[in-house]
Amino acid sequence: MKRLVENIMIWYFTDNESGKKTASAIEGLGLSVNLLETLNLAGVLTNVDYEGVNIFIFDMAEDAPQKIIDYCISEKKIRGFAKFVLLSKKNLKEALLISFNIDRLEFLSKPVNTDEFLLLLEKVIVIEYCRKNIPANGLGALNLLEGFLSIGRKDVFDHKNELDFFAYLRALYKKKPGVKKLP
């Protein structure tokens, strides 16, 4: 059985240095990051492993939120995957208003705290992996975990539960000898 991280691809779209640093931090977790400097997936989508976990991150300082959201709507091949859009605070309100009907899209305000973002990414990876590998009769437990972690929360700025959950898991792994780490 392949390790969890071997089945994950992060597609990171950025046109700025802070985005490249964040992508490098994600690679530091042992994840595969496909760094793209343009908002164009035309030739890239042929390389997407639709059986695996794909997460799309858009950190495009030069592109307006409307262009990124239009792209997420028009590109049908990425609809079923988790997507993050990193925006300045001034663009966040506009993005929220024009994106109400896009499934699996999260907005984060820049500058992003790298540690918090990596925790959020870990949460999404666990959920996405479970979504792909849990039989239909086990999805109730997945929904419970999603609810606990506040995925789909009303307040996009509230991430305390997620941080507490992963801090608890990390503390548990450190304290309990013999507890296996997540794959």
Long-range contacts of 77-81 (CB under 8 A, 24+ apart): 77/41, 77/45, 77/48, 78/41, 78/45, 78/48, 78/54, 79/103, 79/104, 80/104, 81/54, 81/55, 81/56, 81/128
Q: What count of other Cβ atoms lies within 10 Å of the Cβ of residue 183?
A: 11
pTM above 0.75, yes or no: no
Domains and CATH numbers, the chain: 4-175 (3.40.50.2300)
Can you tell me the distance from the alpha carbon of 115 to that of 117, in angstroms, rounded to the nearest whole number?
5
DSSP 26-66: HHTTT-EEEEESSS--TTTGGG--TTSEEEEEEE-SSS-HH
Q: Is the dihedral of CA 77, 83, 86, 89 positive or negative?
A: positive
The burial of 35, by beta-carbon neighbours within 10 Å (0-12 exposed, 13-18 middle, 19 or more buried), is given as: middle
Residue-level pLDDT, tens digit, the chain, 183 residues: 244 556 789 999 999 999 999 999 999 988 999 999 887 766 677 778 878 889 999 998 887 888 888 888 888 778 788 889 888 888 877 777 766 666 677 778 888 888 888 888 888 887 787 777 666 666 666 666 666 565 555 555 555 666 666 666 566 556 555 544 444
Query: Which alpha helices (H) appear in the chain, and where do they start and end?
Result: 17-27, 65-74, 89-98, 114-133, 139-148, 160-175
**Cβ-Cβ contacts under 8 Å for 28 (sequence gap 6 or more):** none
